[in-house]
Amino acid sequence: MNDGQSPKPNYLWSIFTMKCPRCRQGQMFKDHNPYGRLSLKHIFDMPDHCPVCRQKYELENGFWYGTGYVSYALAVALSVTTFVAWLVLIGVSVDDNRIFAWLIFNIVLLLLIQPWLMRLSRVIYLYFFVSYDPYHEKNKPKEFD
């Protein structure tokens, strides 16, 4: 059953730890912490290729423009989640401004986790186009042109 290969790395864990989609071992970003520096320029510092399997990360020019849609979907999903949690735990009412308290909480939360969300959207977007290859040592990386 197991042909000498190590077990397949977990899909969701590989996304959240921001590993390469092809080998699920190489780091996708040079600096693991998006909050590590005061400057936000380093958020998208990525090597050109995966250090383990040599998969090219930017498959074509302008490839990362699609991450805006993924980032938007993540922000909406997080906002809906916080709204439902607020509704269940605190309640929502216009009479005492609890809805506005949630709105402020949600805005602050989205601003604080935006660097992480932007990175996560890049990872998820690349996972749409590059699939896991258990034989990545033998096969060529996927390329677009």
How confident is the chain (145 residues) per 10-residue block, as mean pLDDT? 66 91 89 73 83 87 90 96 93 81 94 91 92 82 67
In eight-state DSSP terms, residue 137 is T
Q: 55-63 contacts: CB < 8 A, separation 24 or more? A: 55/20, 55/21, 55/22, 55/23, 55/26, 55/130, 55/136, 55/141, 55/142, 56/141, 56/143, 57/20, 57/28, 57/126, 59/126, 59/129, 59/130, 59/142, 59/143, 59/144, 60/144, 60/145, 63/144
Is the separation of the CB atoms in 27 and 19 below 8 Å?
A: yes
Tell me what pLDDT residue 107 has.
96
Angle at 72 between CA 84 and CA 8, to 5 degrees: 90
Tell me what pLDDT residue 127 has.
92
Tell me what pLDDT residue 83 has.
94
Q: What share of the chain is helix, strand, coil (3-state, %, to 5)?
A: 50, 5, 50
SS3 of residue 27 by DSSP = strand
Tell me what pLDDT residue 38 has.
66
